């Protein structure tokens, strides 16, 4: 992965200080509990996805905001044109 969405938008969306953006605290503030085994890459990813879904439901416009270029971490302007894949959409659930 050379581009990604960093969930630091969480703090801006929910108006919480940076020290409130740890995974377990974010879940707790959203009324969710951690699913799985802490520090498991797969379980952490699933829980981050749950947070991202909630952020989308609450009106967040998730965009790629960080990337690696030439071995360096770079911030991507949120006002710039979207590159690559389209913006994430709300998941559709089957009844």
pLDDT at position 26 over 60: yes
Place of tokens 């879940």: 27
Tell me if 2 sits within 8 A of 67, measured CB to CB: yes
Instruction: Quote the pLDDT of residue 24.
Output: 92
For residue 21, what pLDDT band results from cuts at 50, 70 and 90? confident
Tell me if 20 sits within 8 A of 54, measured CB to CB: no
CA neighbours closer than 13 Å in the CB half-sphere of residue 71: 0
Topology (CATH) of 3-75: Nucleotidyltransferase; domain 5 (3.30.420)
Tell me the pTM: 0.72
Q: What strands, in cross-sheet order, belong to the sheet with 3-4?
A: 3-4, 66-69, 72-75
Instruction: Quote the pLDDT of residue 62.
Output: 84
The distance between the two most distant Cα atoms of the chain, rounded to a whole number of Å, is: 46
């Amino acid at each position: 992965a050379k581009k990604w969405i960093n969930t630091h938008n969480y703090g801006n969306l929910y108006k919480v200080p940076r020290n409130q953006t740890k995974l377990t605290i974010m879940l707790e503030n959203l009324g969710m509990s951690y699913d799985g085994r802490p520090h498991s890459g797969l379980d952490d990813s699933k829980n981050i996805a749950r947070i991202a879904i909630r952020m989308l439901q609450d009106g967040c416009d998730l965009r790629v905001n960080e990337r690696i270029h030439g071995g360096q971490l770079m911030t991507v302007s949120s006002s710039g044109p979207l590159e690559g894949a389209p913006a994430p959409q709300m998941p559709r659930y089957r009844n």
